Amino acid sequence: MVIRCGWSGRSNGQYGQGGEWTNKLYFTDDAENPGESPVEISDDEVETYFAEVEGTEENIVDARIYKNNLFTSWLPKLGGMWHEFTVVESKSWYWSFEKNAEGIQVQRGKTLKSVRDSFRGEARVGSVEPEGRPPTKGHKGDTIQHIFVWIYKKDELNKDYHVTKSNCHFLASMVFEAIARLKGRKLQ
C-alpha cells in the first residue's frame, strides 16, 4: 500500500481516504528495498529506538523541502493539492520526514533519488520539485538523532493529522525550520 499526504493508494491503483491517525512513526530503513512494510514505532519508543539505528549519530549536512502532486501527474500543484516533505542529508544517508493521515513517515536511503522520488519503493505521483525555500546547512553538532528527539519532545506523534491545520506542510516546515534555526525553532 502506498500512503501519501492524507490519502492511501491501494495496489489496484485506486485511491481512497487515508487511515486513521495512529500516533506512530513508520520507519522504512532501506528505501531502495523497502520490503513488505515499515517498522511501526510508538511515541514512547522514538528516542530509544533511533538511538540504536545506524546513521542517526551522523551530523546533518543539509536539508530541503520537496513537493509533489497529491493525486495525478497531470494536475498542476494548485490550491494545496500537493504533498510536502523534508529531505535531510547526513554523511552516509538521505532521510525523508513526512506526515500523512496515518502517522509520521520516515524513510532513509543511500541516494537522494531513493527518498525524494519514491515512497516505500513506488514512484511518487507526478514530478517532485523543490518547495521554494533554498536548502539549509546543518548546524555544528546537530545530528539525525536530534530530529527524532525533537519529534518526541514537540509531541508531534500526538498531534492528529488535519487537512488544513496539521498536515504534511506543517511538519515539513517545522523540521526544516528547526534544522535551519528559523522562527525561533532549533533541534537542541
Residue 12 within a domain:
no
- Per-residue pLDDT of 115-128, as tens digits, reads 999 998 899 988 89
Residue 2 within a domain:
no
Residue 7 within a domain:
no
**pTM > 0.75: yes or no:** yes
How many distinct structural domains can be found in the chain?
Answer: 1
Residue 160 within a domain:
yes
Domain limits at 148?
Answer: 21-180
Residue 4 within a domain:
no
Residue 185 within a domain:
no
Residue 62 within a domain:
yes
- Per-residue pLDDT of 134-183, as tens digits, reads 999 999 999 999 999 999 999 999 999 998 889 999 999 999 999 999 98
> Residue 6 has what pLDDT?
47
Who contacts 7 (Cβ-Cβ below 8 Å, separation ≥6)?
A: 15, 16, 17, 18, 70, 71, 100, 101
Residue 3 within a domain:
no
How many whole angstroms separate alpha carbon 93 and alpha carbon 81? 29
> Residue 80 has what pLDDT?
64
